[in-house]
Chain A
Amino acid sequence: MMRGRAVRLLAATLVVIGSACSRGSNATVPPTRRGPNLTYVAIGNGETAGNSVKNRIRSAWPQIVYRTVFPRSAIFVNLGQNSVTIDEAAASQLPVALSLAPDVVTVELTDDTFLTRDATGYQAKLERFVQRLQRGGRTRVILGNIPPGDREPGVLACTPNPPAGSGPCRIGSGFDIDASNARDAEFNQAIAAAAAASAVPLVDLHAAFLRARAAGNEDAFYAGNDFSPNEAGHAFIARQFEPAVRAALKSRP
């Protein structure tokens, strides 16, 4: 009887000591599995680089695409350069992009419209560019075209009747909007033709901006006396690219 009581006391004590000795772990975040190492490269101009926004690392549209469409394990390099012709990009951006063996590349090389102004030569160069990028189909290439330029504040400032609050005209008051629009249209045709020839998706920014214009939203995409989109504009462009990038990810070999 007494023996039983003593044994029980002993057992209880040992249990208490035992349970006290073991300590729980306090890992709060479960370990993530290593996903596929996708690589996304953005090739393009100053807009691609995000030159017009205050904080391009946060707000440039390719950075937004990377953040919102790609899995966390993806790697992203933005090669966009200010005022770059397709020839220059073929020398500076293309080799780096190829060295990264990217899975997805967005190409927004549209500065030739005011730098070389040679739409015919441009189409062939773009096709060649895309073909090299594709690496025999291992890279999904997505092309973007030129948004309309005639509502850019920097352009409006150079019209005969600039809107109130416009700054000084910085591209010469002789700037011909109609001629510029015509050139853009020509280049956009070249881009569309190149996309069709290379069988790569085309993100029609021109059409998207016109739709936004019709809805009365376009002016919010620019700020100040500028030719490039602001943060809202970049977010808008990112939204235009997202479906194509998603589709490209899905169709990856």
Chain B
Amino acid sequence: MNWPDAFLAALRSLDRRAGRAALTVLAVALAAALLSALLIVSTAARTRVLDQLAKGGPLAGIQVAAAAPGPQALDADTPRPGRPRDIDADAVRRIRALRSVRSVVTLESNPVLAVAPSAAIQPFQDTLAGLDLRRVRTLPITVIVGRSPTPDSLTEVAVTEGYLRRVGLTRATAAKAVGTEVEIGAPRSFPSSRDRIDVRGRWTRAEIVGVVAQQAIDAQFLGSRAMVRAARAWTAQSDPDSGFELPSSRYAGLFVVADGLDRVGSARASITRLGYSTSSPENLIETVRRYLRVVEIVLAGIGLIALAIAALGITNALLAAVRERRREIGVLKAIGARDRDVRRIFLIEAGITGLIGGLVGTVAGYGIARILGAVVNQYLVDQGLPGVGIGLPALVVVGGVLGSAMLAVLAGITPAQRAARLPARQAMGDA
């Protein structure tokens, strides 16, 4: 008997005992749903927690400040930086050349005066930061609402939570800021006949396209590199004798990605040797990762116990089927079925039960996870925090479906063996 024939025969016998088969499938589905929901939720939680630790950037991210290393440089994740130290193009080149460094994104900034739309808010002084926005996804910058500015735009900015506070918004109401216009002026000091500094702004207007959470740069406005460079060019022409304080560092900071989490330490050490202060959440991430793994193992254990119970259900159902069908199995043998043909039919029956149960269960589990995610997100949004993304990890799909099927086949071995061993004489009916 070939596989398709055996498959058809198995399907037919499931079909005949549809009620019981459905119950068995349901048991498997529930177990698979539990397992996959637990795994999906824990994966989402893990991503969310690690994301939070890395501030949306890569886990192997390192922030380099325009400052010399502080005294306890490497022992802490976020050491206090030492005295200011300029980051110039040469420093960037040397850091880029380090073996343990995969990529470097430069951060530039300029002081600006800003005018918010509401007349009730006084113009205020802050910082405009600019960077290669094409790489914003690889930075510890998380978009709360809206999006980040388009990489070349001179008329789009994202604002940070500091801006929200300034204009009386919260994370929960951040969306209100999106779509409004701010006037941003770069200052330049001029020689003045009188004693005071005469400062003139180079004004630009920009639409706020998003609100971001970030700790990479101390700035309320995030724009394109072109935008901040134009501002810097204006400010840099300031009268040197005016006493106006100019940012001297070419780059306000760097965001370095190490060649893997295990290279973060050596990358930080190298950058410290070059004379710059670094910070990175590596120690915290490692610890949290270990805890998360334990939680995942426990959750997976719960799901696996459920699956094991479901597997016992499959065994039980199939044993009952074998007992009921002794004569049919005898007839099968009488008309030429070999032991292995009989075994194959029962194993396939078990496999199909597991496969369908696994599929249904995984989909249901995903649904449950989505619902849980929606509830959690509601809470997070109420708290003004970015929500979690409930994804469907490929591993869960493959594991949930194939795992259930394989477990079911294992559960079917005993009944299948029993069926295969039944004496052919059973065909004659009980004497």
Do any beta carbons of A and B sit within 8 angstroms of each other in the complex? yes
Contact residues of A with B, CB < 8 Å? 2-3, 6, 9-10, 13, 16-17, 20-21, 23, 26-29, 31-32, 34-35, 37, 55, 57-58, 63, 66-67, 72-79, 81, 92, 96
| Residue contacts A-B, CB under 8 angstroms, 27 given | A3-B11, A6-B352, A20-B392, A21-B392, A26-B147, A27-B146, A28-B145, A28-B147, A28-B178, A28-B179, A29-B147, A29-B156, A31-B150, A32-B156, A34-B152, A57-B113, A57-B115, A73-B154, A73-B205, A74-B204, A74-B205, A75-B203, A75-B204, A76-B203, A76-B204, A77-B202, A78-B200
CA A28 to CA B113, docked complex, whole Å: 26
Question: Which residues of B have CB within 8 Å of A72?
Answer: 155, 181, 205-207
Q: Is B299 an interface residue (CB 8 A)?
A: no
Q: Out of B155, B207, B360, B397, which one reaches A34, CB within 8 Å?
A: B155
Question: Which residues of A have CB within 8 Å of B209?
Answer: 28-29, 31
A2 near B201: Cβ-Cβ < 8 Å: no
A72-B206, A78-B201 given; A32·B153 CB < 8 A: yes
A3-B11, A6-B11, A9-B356 given; A23·B389 CB < 8 A: yes
A20-B366, A28-B146 given; A67·B153 CB < 8 A: no
Contact residues of B with A, CB < 8 Å? 8, 11-12, 14-15, 113, 115, 119, 122-123, 145-147, 150, 152-156, 175, 178-179, 181, 183, 185, 190, 198, 200-207, 209-210, 352, 356, 359-360, 362-363, 366, 370, 389, 391-392, 397
Question: Which residues of A have CB within 8 Å of B179?
Answer: 28-29
A35 near B363: Cβ-Cβ < 8 Å: no
A31-B150, A76-B203 given; A2·B363 CB < 8 A: no
B154 near A29: Cβ-Cβ < 8 Å: no
- Smallest distance from the beta carbon of A93 to chain B beta carbons, Å? 9
- Smallest distance from the beta carbon of A60 to chain B beta carbons, Å? 11
CA A27 to CA B392, docked complex, whole Å: 22
Residue of B nearest to A28 (CB): B146
B389 near A37: Cβ-Cβ < 8 Å: no
Question: Which residues of B have CB within 8 Å of A17?
Answer: 362-363, 366, 392, 397
- Smallest distance from the beta carbon of B366 to chain A beta carbons, Å? 6
Question: Which residues of A have CB within 8 Å of B8?
Answer: 2-3
- Given pairs A6-B352, A9-B356, 4 additional interface contacts (CB within 8 A): A20-B366, A35-B155, A72-B205, A74-B204
Question: Which residues of A have CB within 8 Å of B113?
Answer: 57
A55 near B200: Cβ-Cβ < 8 Å: no
Residue of B nearest to A57 (CB): B123
Nearest 4 pairs between A and B by C-beta? Answer: A76-B203, A29-B209, A31-B150, A57-B123
A77 near B200: Cβ-Cβ < 8 Å: yes
CA A148 to CA B170, docked complex, whole Å: 48
* B interface: dominant SS: mixed
B147 near A27: Cβ-Cβ < 8 Å: yes
A17-B397, A29-B210 given; A58·B153 CB < 8 A: no
- Smallest distance from the beta carbon of B115 to chain A beta carbons, Å? 6
Question: Which residues of B have CB within 8 Å of A28?
Answer: 145-147, 175, 178-179, 209-210
- Smallest distance from the beta carbon of B365 to chain A beta carbons, Å? 11
Question: Which residues of A have CB within 8 Å of B146?
Answer: 27-29
Residue of B nearest to A84 (CB): B193
Residue of A nearest to B202 (CB): A77
CA A6 to CA B14, docked complex, whole Å: 11
A32-B156, A34-B153, A34-B155 given; A77·B201 CB < 8 A: yes
CA A26 to CA B329, docked complex, whole Å: 59
Question: Which residues of A have CB within 8 Å of B202?
Answer: 75-77
Residue of A nearest to B147 (CB): A27
Question: Which residues of B have CB within 8 Å of A26?
Answer: 147
Question: Which residues of B have CB within 8 Å of A9?
Answer: 356, 359
Question: Which residues of A have CB within 8 Å of B210?
Answer: 28-29
Question: Which residues of A have CB within 8 Å of B391?
Answer: 21, 23
- Smallest distance from the beta carbon of B181 to chain A beta carbons, Å? 7
Residue with the greatest number of chain A CB neighbours at <10 A, chosen from B155, B359, B391:
B155
- Smallest distance from the beta carbon of B37 to chain A beta carbons, Å? 13
Question: Which residues of A have CB within 8 Å of B207?
Answer: 29, 32, 72
B205 near A29: Cβ-Cβ < 8 Å: no
CA A158 to CA B356, docked complex, whole Å: 97
